[in-house]
Amino acid sequence: MPNSRMIRVSSKGQIVLPKSLREKAGISDGDFIYIEEVDGILLIEKPAPSKLAALTQRLRKEASERRFTRRDLEAAISETKTQSSR
């Protein structure tokens, strides 16, 4: 198995995925993963992001690049509410 690694299972059944494998699979802190057993082999897969998650990620990245803060967002919402109530 050319891409295999030996890792230890804790007493709680936990494993640590090596950083290089997490990076290669695009797995980050807090992500969910699928695990499936097929003929005695465990397969681990990161699900594709939902359309909403992908849109949220894109908007957060763009807001960060433009230095758009939460305060800016709240001000824009407040302004929109004020305009729509006229």
Domains, the chain, ordered by start: 1-47 (2.10.260.10), 51-84 (no CATH)
Confidence tier at 23 by pLDDT (50, 70, 90) = very high
Token readout for 48 is 């594709």
Q: Which two tokens stand for residue 24?
A: 């290669």
CA dihedral (57, 58, 61, 63) positive or negative: negative
Number of Cβ within 10 Å of residue 49's Cβ equals: 13
**Cα–Cα distance measured from residue 17 to residue 8, given in angstroms and rounded to the nearest whole number:** 10
Residue 54 predicted with pLDDT over 90: no
Give the pTM.
Answer: 0.52
Decide: helix, strand or coil at residue 42.
Answer: strand
Rounded Cα–Cα distance for residues 10 and 15 (Å): 7
Does position 49 have pLDDT exceeding 80, yes or no? no
pLDDT at 37: 94
- Which pLDDT score, from 0 to 100, does residue 4 have? 77
Say yes or no to pLDDT of 1 above 60: no
pLDDT at residue 2, rounded to an integer: 63
